[in-house]
Amino acid sequence: MKVIITTFGNPEDAKRIAKKLVEERLVACAWVTQKITSYYVWEGKLQEDEEVVVVLKVPNKTYERALERLKELHPYEVPEIMAFEPNYVLPEYLKWAEEVCD
């Protein structure tokens, strides 16, 4: 299983895309957070923006397709997309995630 973390500029995009990935059965579950403040350098200038973090839980069998679909749907020119493998996943949770994803 993988955990994908990404950010969006507004809650509407975050919710719409998270829901779509679940509906398309590419991710088992998505968390959409409250707004955070991000600081980063873009085109040589320090930026300060409010963003929404989305955490996606993805079984290995749909990971590549979920990643490609997220890149397709994401509105950012260069989206922040990072993936991690958890050290542990409750076997029953993993079984459920694999069952709900195609």
pLDDT at 12: 97
User: Per the structure block, which two tokens stand in for 12?
Assistant: 């509407």
Task: Report d(CA 85, CA 60) in Å as an integer.
Answer: 10
CA neighbor of 2 nearest in space, from 31, 27, 22, 24: 27
Confirm if 57 and 100 have CB atoms less than 8 A apart. no
Q: Mean pLDDT of all residues in the chain?
A: 97
The CATH number for 2-100, chosen from 3.30.420.10, 3.40.109.10, 3.30.70.120, 3.40.50.800, is 3.30.70.120
**Residue 11: its pLDDT value, please?**
97
Looking at residue 83, its pLDDT comes to: 98
Whole-model pTM: value is: 0.94
pLDDT tens, position by position, 45-86: 999 999 999 999 999 999 999 999 999 999 999 999 999 999
Beta strands in 1-102 (DSSP E): 2-8, 29-42, 45-58, 81-84
Residue pair 10/33 in contact (Cβ under 8 Å)? The answer is no
* High-pLDDT (> 90) share of the chain, %: 100
